[in-house]
Chain A
Amino acid sequence: MMRSLQSIPRSWLYVILIVLLAWPLIKPIGIKLDISDETRRCYEAIESLEPGSVVVFGFDYSAGNKAEMEPQALAVLRHLLRRNVKVIGLAFVEQGPILGEQAFQKTGWTEKQYGVDYINLGYRAGGQGTVAAFANDIPGTFNTDISGKPSTSFPIMEGIKTAADIDLIVTIAPGTPGPEDYVRQVFSSYQTPLVCGVPAVAITQVAPYVQAKQIKGILGGSPAAAQYELLIEQPGDAVAAMDAQSLAHLLIVAVIILRNIGYLAEKKASNNTANPSGRGTHS
């Protein structure tokens, strides 16, 4: 019995995982979701924006991590739409512009006036160096929008020169360029408030900047996206995925416990075999 706990076939584990992921997606359990302080800080940063404020939205994620990052982007964009602010979308990741277009469509931004209420400035290559260039000269770095028209020809860009003219930067970024680059190149020079969305595994990397008050708040992974959806009272994909994530985490914890019980039992058995009398070897 204990030996079998040491060698559960991988295929069994995979089947159990598929069932545990699929079941709550088909029939939601409705596990209660608490709102974390970090998510609430992000929400409050956006809630405090005055109508007409200018927000730069960095679509710095790609198709590979869309599943984890897009729910965050959608939830924040929906909130921004409600706050009646202006959004300048841009990307330092090559797939960002098309994902930005999709996000604008999914959240209802496309019903607003393009170039007046929102704009998509597309992608610029160069990583951290380009983030610095953006901070110093926004219309110079992003001189055209996604369709190739001069960015300065749009009313939304009037009076926008450097990062000092921006009221808030939101970046949804699983890697680099990401929050750290914005802190180094934008916040350190212009003190523009920054909110970011990162995958759950990257929270640790960004947390020191939040404690140092260089980032106003972080959204970490799908749980934060789900909490944000609840805060804006528009439950979406992230809330639906939370039951599945909970059960998957529970399964991982369960297999770790089972494996260790098996290991300890086997160790005890091998000790008994080596020393059947149970006495020490020294007389």
Chain B
Amino acid sequence: MKSTVPVVITAVIGIVMILDFFLPVQSVNNMASLLQSWGIVISAFAMGLGAVNLLRRHTGIIAKGEKSMLYSLLLVGSMILTIIVGLFFGTGSKLYDFLFTNILSAASSTLYASIAFYILSAAYRAFVAKNLDGWILLLTGVVIMLGTAPIGAVISKFFPAASQWIQDIPNTAGMRAIMMGAALGVVSSAVKTFLGYDKSYLGQGE
């Protein structure tokens, strides 16, 4: 009973959503819209739950005085500050905008930009062609890199043309195969879930 009821609920909801996609029946469409609204509400709650969990975890670290407590202090402090500013001054306020632009945005962009250094370092250390596969990967990488930057066309028109060909033909073909495989996998997983063979989402093994 404990596992049957959730499986039945899951199967019914899943079937309603599938029917909604294929059938222009008003009652089914209304039911699906209602379920979608519930989904949005549950997602919003999940975000709140995530924030509470994060706060609990890091206040625990601070209380125990663990090694990484400085980072936890910083996280909890930033979180409380942002919540206070958002609640009392509004997310459209200048203060909130200041925090977003000058702290979050600047820090995030810096982290994103540091990828360039990792890529350079990784390319130097790992991009060594030791066999035929390595050479194919290396040459493809070089063509794509030169083809996607304006300098490639300045060196030779071959680079943008070859880069486009690689992206349009072999890459897209491979990507299509992956997407179709994944879609079939999703269908099979959905059938298993609806029939109650897969109960992993209930915290149980198959």
Q: Which residues of A contact B (CB under 8 A)?
A: 8, 10, 13-14, 17, 21, 31-34, 36, 62-68, 94-95, 97-98, 101-102, 124-127, 129-130, 132-133, 136-137, 140-141, 146-147, 188-189, 200, 203-205, 207-208, 211, 220-221, 223, 226, 242-243, 245-253, 255-256, 259-260, 263
Contacts and interface: CB of A to CB of B under 8 A. Distances in A.
Contact of A246 (B105, B128, B151): B151
B179 interface: yes
Nearest to B119: A252
A147 B90 CA distance: 9
B172 A63 contact: no
Contact of B124 (A67, A126, A250, A256): A256
Contact of B149 (A94, A95, A249): A249
Contacts, number: 168
Nearest to B127: A256
B39 A13 contact: no
Interface of B: 21, 29, 32-33, 36-37, 39-40, 42-44, 46-47, 91-92, 96-97, 100-101, 104-105, 108-109, 111-113, 116-117, 119-121, 123-125, 127-130, 138, 141-142, 145-146, 148-154, 160, 164, 167-168, 171-172, 175-176, 179
B145 to A, nearest CB: 5
A137 B33 contact: yes
A101 to B, nearest CB: 7
Given A98-B100, A255-B124, A260-B128, A130 B43 contact: yes
B205 to A, nearest CB: 26
Given A136-B32, A249-B148, A259-B124, A66 B109 contact: yes
Given A64-B109, A126-B44, A132-B36, 19 more contacts: A10-B124, A14-B117, A36-B160, A66-B109, A67-B112, A98-B96, A98-B97, A127-B43, A133-B40, A136-B29, A140-B33, A188-B21, A204-B167, A207-B172, A223-B148, A242-B149, A249-B152, A252-B123, A259-B127
A207 B173 CA distance: 10
Given A63-B108, A67-B113, A249-B151, A125 B43 contact: yes
Interface centre among B100, B124, B138 (most CB of A within 10 A): B124
30 contacts: A14-B120, A14-B121, A31-B151, A31-B154, A34-B153, A63-B105, A66-B108, A67-B109, A98-B100, A102-B97, A125-B43, A125-B44, A133-B37, A141-B37, A188-B21, A204-B171, A208-B176, A208-B179, A221-B148, A242-B150, A249-B145, A252-B145, A255-B123, A256-B124, A256-B141, A259-B127, A260-B129, A260-B138, A263-B129, A263-B130
Nearest to A262: B128
B178 to A, nearest CB: 9
